[in-house]
């Protein structure tokens, strides 16, 4: 999978350790963490460096492809998007954006491009996603990207029960 992907406004690229401070700042926002399953709040020192340091090994094993979402014009870091290789036929999509960048179409733009590249370069038959039902903006992004909802399940998320909605996007026959 390519290490960089370009869209009209964005450059999706691999993270570097220089991004760690901005990752901690953006992901550390309470509202960002509250609407995700895996981002803790408060965001502990050292976690961003640990997370970024894991990416290359995962990429080499074809286990995950994680990208920094940056503005093409300035290089400013907005958030992250990536795919986990769930099996040899399916991948799981995940993403987050810093609060100042919500509502500007960045996730949809990054997601569309990543999905297109994924289906062009990798043999996945489908991409799955999940979102907390209280994260209506994420649901809107997934629906814009062509995902369809498959189920809702009450699960334990960050030591609390929360409803998680599952989505799937099938590769279209060529």
Residue range 2-49, pLDDT digits in tens: 999 999 999 999 999 999 999 999 999 999 999 999 999 999 999 999
DSSP, collapsed to helix, strand or coil, labels residue 97 as strand
- Spatial distance between the Cα atoms of 36 and 27, rounded to a whole number of angstroms: 10
The verdict on domain 4-127 having CATH code 3.40.630.30 is: yes
Residues of the chain with pLDDT under 50: none
> Pick from 10, 2, 13: which is nearest to 108 by CA?
10
Query: What's the token pair of residue 60?
Result: 């080499």
Report the chain's terminal Cα–Cα distance, integer Å: 20
**Tokens coding 17:** 């350790």
Measured CA to CA, the distance from residue 169 to residue 123 in angstroms comes to 14
Two tokens at 11? Answer: 């450059």
Res 104: pLDDT: 97
pLDDT at residue 87, as a whole number: 76
**Whose structure tokens read 């300035």?**
74
- Distance, in Å, from the CA atom of 115 to the CA atom of 96, rounded to the nearest integer, reads 16
- Residues 67/12, Cβ–Cβ less than 8 Å: yes
Give me the residues paired with residue 91 across strands: 85, 127
Where would I find the beta strands (DSSP E) of the chain? Answer: 4-6, 10-13, 64-71, 77-85, 90-97, 126-132, 148-157, 160-170
The pTM assigned to this predicted structure is: 0.95
């Amino acid at each position: 999978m390519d290490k960089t992907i370009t869209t009209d406004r964005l450059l999706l690229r691999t993270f570097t350790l220089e991004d760690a401070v901005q990752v901690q700042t953006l992901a550390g926002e309470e509202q960002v963490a509250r609407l995700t399953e895996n981002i803790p709040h408060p965001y502990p020192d050292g976690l961003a460096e640990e997370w970024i340091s894991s990416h290359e090994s995962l990429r080499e094993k074809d286990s995950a492809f994680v990208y920094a979402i940056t503005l093409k014009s300035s290089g400013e870091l907005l958030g992250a998007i990536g795919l986990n290789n769930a099996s040899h036929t399916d991948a799981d999509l995940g993403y987050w954006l810093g609060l100042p960048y919500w509502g500007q179409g960045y996730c949809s733009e990054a997601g569309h491009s990543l999905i297109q590249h994924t289906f062009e370069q990798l043999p996945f038959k489908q991409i799955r996603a999940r979102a907390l039902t209280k994260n209506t903006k994420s649901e809107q992004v997934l629906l814009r990207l062509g995902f369809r909802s498959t189920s809702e399940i009450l699960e334990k998320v960050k030591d609390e029960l929360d409803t998680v909605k599952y989505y799937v996007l099938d590769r279209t026959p060529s």
